[in-house]
Amino acid sequence: RKEVEQDPGPFNVPEGATVAFNCTYSNSASQSFFWYRQDCRKEPKLLMSVYSSGNEDGRFTAQLNRASQYISLLIRDSKLSDSATYLCVVNRYNTDKLIFGTGTRLQVFP
């Protein structure tokens, strides 16, 4: 089983839609969680960190469920510019490795 698992998609949604991605992680020692965004043929860039209390940044909301070992990302009012691959990232404190999921591809259409 992969340490970080994501549905690869693609998720095809119209502009203005709300879309949610989930990510599960297998190691309960994981301490830090992030969502990165990767545009086609570009490098990954941090979208947001995920805190235990959940956090929101504009149209983006990230949540963490430690009991079930999953992380979610909600995008409201999707824009064409949101089309990208969203990578779930987990950091295990005892090894400090940043482990990436396969990524979920989002395509927003007009």
Nearer to another protein, 39 or 77 (CB): 39
State the nearest-atom distance from the C-beta of 48 to another protein, in Å. Answer: 10
Rule CB under 8 A: which residues touch another protein?
Answer: 4, 6, 8, 31-32, 34, 42-46, 49, 87, 91, 93, 95-103
SS3 state at 82? helix
| Residue number with CB closer to another protein (42 or 66) | 42
What span, in angstroms and rounded, lies between the C-alpha atoms of 71 and 4?
10
